[in-house]
Chain A
Amino acid sequence: MSTTDTRTLRVYRFKRGDGAEHFDEFEVPVGPRMSILDALRWIQLHRDPSLALRHSCLHASCGTCGVQVDGREELACVSAVRDHGETITVEPLANLPILTDLVVDVGEFFARFPEHPIIRASEADGYVRLEDCIECGLCLSACPVAATSRHYVGPAALVAAQRLLEEPRGADREDVLAWADRPEAAWGCHLGFECARACPAEAIPAERIMALRRELAR
């Protein structure tokens, strides 16, 4: 692929009070190492500065640039344009409210997590990530159960609960089990395994959810 190649990006658009949802198409010149995020930023710089997207680290660590590319959840910063076809459709993550264009309300994603301390009291001013999971929300977008159940907490929250059981760090184990032992929590998973496919951190959420179920079944 030479640097003069172009690809057509079909980008989902939504602005509050500015008409219905729709797709805009942009011809984007692409280079051999161009990522989907690079292409979207090129559109921002050269075609439409009103295009809204979220990104930060540019190396698949922060999990903020998650989008659907041709229907698959990917981190735009590490999704290569060359891995896709002539026309590439970019949409926001599914199953979360859209704020604007490609930006979803991640507040709803984090609101699904168990309401327990995930850090020790002595670390209350800091923030400790769960190992592996980068909390990008791709698994929730990919999950077919979440398509019809807004109350289903989703894979990432269940992974967080399972990690709490492995390493409670001050959390009440019984509370975590009670939180997980609900139809909209551990028992809501119907084993579509799309979370395992979508997870960019290879956390294999489905495996964690089954481990959580084993804990509940003891």
Chain B
Amino acid sequence: MNIVVCIKQIVDPEAPDRTFAIDPVTSRQDRNRLSLVASPFDLNACEVALRLRDGLGGQLTALTIGPPEATQVLRQALGLGFGAGVLLNDPSFHDADPFKTAYVLSRAIRKLGPIDLILTGCESGDMAGAAVGPLIAEELAIGCITYASRISAARNGLEIHRTLSHGYELLHASPPLVVTVISDHANGPRLPKLRDLLASAKQPIPVWTALDIGIDVERFAVPPMKVKECTVVVTTRERACAWIVGETVQEQARDLVRRLRDRHILGSETRPS
């Protein structure tokens, strides 16, 4: 089975709040001073891909769009056991909206040859648009299943475990297919083996430009983008502590419920016992 995982490099979501800054000139997030990491859901997608490969065999390829330092996330995938990684880098790829991103990725996927499965995180860890996966499927004119947590081999195709708010559903689907992946206890990213990590450092990573993947310049340029980011602001969040009062645990529980209801966190039908 040939699987491609699309990974986005983002500013570390675990970085302290105080390090978050907006560039006053571009009005965009200032990435210069921050550590960059692979988007967490994309790492879940990597784990789903690795488990499928471990069971069925096949080839795993990681794709990312970004500057040269984005090869870091590709090396991370290689260290986990991916066979190849490709960096998509071209000045025309900068500041892409989800439509443009999906178009660029789909062109690169076509260049890779016949692919059975394309995986990516259900959304990116920074913009949380949740659009790129389905849009890749649209570009490639194949099916898409979103918010999956596990994938296993099934008769005549794949069985996809999709988590719902009150349970899960199992879907059977035939490749080729795009699947977006959520975080789940069953797909937590594995730790790399030191040996693979060292081998990955020596593996060449090809860089593909717009020309290499046959970008339709006309389509790329006009209209410029369907989604426009107008402004980014840093919000402040106030925290306050309140004492829950009451002589007994029951009284304290009643006080807590009252406070939660006053703030409309609990519905009025919730009655303290």
Q: Do A and B come from one complex?
A: no
Binding site for A on B (CB under 8 A): none
